[in-house]
A and B are shown apart, each in its own frame.
Chain A
Amino acid sequence: MLNSRKLMSIFWLAMKIMVIVLLSNSARTVFVYQNF
């Protein structure tokens, strides 16, 4: 069952994934090389 606590948890997980994609070293390399 999805309750508000779980929804918040999913939201924070999505935020963390965004930080990883935008700021991780290897992710930045991918962005630079693929010229996004």
Chain B
Amino acid sequence: MPVFKSNLVNLEGLALNSWHFMAISFLAIAAALLINNFRARNLVLLSINIYVLAIPFAISLTSALTLGLFLVSVYSLGLWRKNGWDFTTGRQLAIIAALWVFLFLVRDPGLFPVLNPFHNAPVYIIGISYMVFRCISFLMEVEFIDDPSFGRFCTYVIFFPGLIAGPIERYRVFEKQLAEPVHDPDLVLVALHRIANGFVKKFVIADNLSVLGIFSYSDPTAVSAPLLWVGGLGQLALIYLDFSGYCDIVIGVAALMGFRMQENFDKPFKSLSVQEFWNRWHISLGTLVRDYIFTPINILIIKNVDRKAQFLLITVVYFFSMILIGLWHGTTWGFVAFGTLHGAALVASQLVKTRRPRAVMPWYEVRLRQFLVYAFVSLSLILWMSSADDWAAIYGKLIGLKL
């Protein structure tokens, strides 16, 4: 049982360092490698994915039925689109909004208790946030697929390596790889190194650091101010090690199966602005929000709104995209506050954007900017990871005030 539990990566049920995960991965790799028949291979892969949901994650019958009904509904909608339904930008946004409302209601039965059908019959579906995004990707890209099948769609949505915390692959890319997994003997060693790197990052460094206790905000009064600074500034590095380590393992396992999953990180600590940080961190989520939500809304604005008001509205959309990303992680005040703060930071970095390229900046300015962006994001995680009742006490203690 791993000691470390990250807010981002919930490993209850099937820890990546368990023999169970390794055995399932081995089986999936063998199936992808040895079964040449397209249908048989997909059937085995789908069965393995269903097994992971059913046994290690012990999905209840009600939850399984809810998920099944949800998948059938999304698939039917996809077929409808494929068969000529006019998928206007407005309809696209309305469907995405409906899927997000479904996500919020399923994940938080206490939300809008009078209207929430899951209030009295709560369900628990592991990785539902990621599944909803994959469903959105399916709906957006289904028109490019010749013969979308329900089995392959399900394999995509519940693909076990990325089930808990992504990366969120594009449907079109996944479908292509499902048809023809790429087995390159030269990449086997590379993939094994990637998995080993992930294990070192997550289970050697992050786990051992987290047991020091300084990264937890559970009892801020018990921690001295200097230690709170160390924990606050170290928080982002710890989450990076944990989350990118997890992604390394997942991407490595998928590569051995013949699937190339999208990279989720691109040296995020080299960012010179908050905007750049979000282009380098959790990339698969950021690009999906950009392509499926941010850009369509902006197209609507550009088509329908007076030129003078466009900039203001696009800025507002920027702001709300970050709040949406916050809410996607959970419907709590912590996530709302985190999203709001980062929305404001994105708008601010748009307004005071420097046009000087990195190459002409003196090295100390580059380092200072990198540190400030890192420190801002790391300290903002206090909103994310602690209770709203403790925010004043923690931030107060950091600056020497007793609040």
Contact = CB atoms under 8 A, between A and B. Distances in A.
A28 to B, nearest CB: 9
Contacts of B193: 9, 12-13, 16
Contact of B208 (A6, A9, A17, A25): A25
A3 B192 CA distance: 18
Q: Is the interface of B mostly helix, strand, loop or mixed?
A: helix
A25 B200 contact: no
Contacts of B207: 24-26
Given A6-B189, A20-B203, A20-B204, A25 B4 contact: yes
Interface string A1-28: 0000010011011001101100111110
B17 A16 contact: no
Interface residues of B, number: 18
B2 interface: yes
Interface in B1-36: 1-4, 15, 17
Q: Is the interface of A mostly helix, strand, loop or mixed?
A: helix
B189 A19 contact: no
Query: Chain A interface residue count: which class?
Result: 10 to 19
B192 A26 contact: no
A19 B200 contact: yes
Contact of B2 (A10, A16, A26): A26
A19 B1 contact: no
A19 B3 CA distance: 18
Interface of A: 6, 9-10, 12-13, 16-17, 19-20, 23-27, 29
Interface of B: 1-4, 15, 17, 189, 192-193, 196-197, 199-200, 203-204, 207-208, 211
